Amino acid sequence: MAGLCVASGALVAVDGGTATLKPLRGALTSGVSPLYYVAESPYLLGGRMDRLFSTHAGLRADVERLETELVELRRTAGRYRGLVAENDRLRALLGSTESLPEGVLVAEIIAILPNPARHEVVIDKGLGDSVSTGQAVVDSGGLFGQVVQSAASTSRVLLISDTTHAVPVHVNRSNLRSIAAGTGSFDRLMLESVPIASDIVPGDLLVSSGLGGRFPFGHPVGIVQSVVRDPGDDFARVEAMPSAALDRSRHVLVVREGDA
């Protein structure tokens, strides 16, 4: 028993501090992924049942709503393409490089880790779909998290709201740079080290700044909810609401920089 405890202690220390055991962990994860599917089956089945019993009128309404949304999005996308082209021309004029094109891969969340103190989910794409550690994950609202480990056909994604996670951001309006740290609650991020006299107000949009090289530039991260300036403090207390639906999204996109 003592031997097993010592072995466990050593393993935990090695696994917690280094990446030596990553291959073993990856192989084991591939082995247990069917369990995730079984555990998730009530929800997957629920979705199937909903689709099975949907009415004609309901489907028509859905299609109409989606078509309106599509027209709206096409218009935005058209404008966006124009802006990207213009931006690239201006960057060329200034002599800086063009921004890298991004490719995305749609993934479905197949499990949520059971420990409520940790915000991690498992998605159904892995090494086989060239998903690798460090890639950013977004949903339709904004930045969702990053891949922290990938196995053959599944990957674990750390959410931006986890207490151990932080993402470099800047305020879209004033270009103020900061770091948005997770708080362990799905609807709150805290901005770190914002000087008390900074130009930041509730309602400001935070986007990923691309500094640090992990997250691509320009994905919405959150909206500033409150700014508390205590004259006795050096830093303001800034809280933001994540743009992504961290506890509701079912489908997410894995962002792969460099392949469009």
Partner 1 sequence: MSPRRGGWLIFATLLVAMLASVVHLPASVPDWVGHLRPDWIVAVLFYWSFAASERTGLVEAWLLGFVVDVLVGDPLGLNGACMAGAVFSGHVLHERIRLYSVLQRAGVALGVLLLAALVREVARVLALGTTPSYWFLAAPGVTALLFPLLALALAALRRRFPVR
- Interface residues with partner 1 (CB under 8 A) are 1, 4-5, 7-13, 15-17, 21, 24-25, 28-29, 31-32, 35-36, 38-40, 42-43, 111-118, 120, 156, 163-164, 184-186, 247-248
Report whether 195 contacts 205 (CB < 8 A). Answer: no
Q: Between residues 101 and 128, which has the closer beta carbon with respect to partner 1?
A: 128
Q: Between residues 31 and 101, which has the closer beta carbon with respect to partner 1?
A: 31
Q: Which long-range contacts (CB under 8 A, 24 or more apart) does 144-149 make?
A: 144/244, 144/246, 144/249, 144/252, 145/119, 145/121, 146/214, 146/215, 147/254, 148/120, 149/22, 149/25, 149/26, 149/29
How far is residue 232 from each of residues 179, 192, 196, 198, measured CA to CA in Å?
A: 22, 17, 10, 15
Q: How far is the CB of 13 from partner 1 (least distance, A)?
A: 7
Q: How far is the CB of 131 from partner 1 (least distance, A)?
A: 17
State both tokens at 108: 């479905």
Q: How far is the CB of 48 from partner 1 (least distance, A)?
A: 16
Q: Between residues 137 and 207, which has the closer beta carbon with respect to partner 1?
A: 137
State both tokens at 2: 């003592």
Report whether 104 contacts 219 (CB < 8 A). Answer: no
Closest CA to 131 of 143, 147, 111: 147
Q: Between residues 174 and 185, which has the closer beta carbon with respect to partner 1?
A: 185
Q: How far is the CB of 112 from partner 1 (least distance, A)?
A: 4
Closest CA to 239 of 223, 222, 220, 225: 225
Q: Between residues 11 and 90, which has the closer beta carbon with respect to partner 1?
A: 11
How far is residue 188 from each of residues 28, 101, 228, 234, measured CA to CA in Å?
A: 33, 30, 15, 22
Q: Between residues 54 and 185, which has the closer beta carbon with respect to partner 1?
A: 185
Q: How far is the CB of 203 from partner 1 (least distance, A)?
A: 26
Q: How far is the CB of 138 from partner 1 (least distance, A)?
A: 19
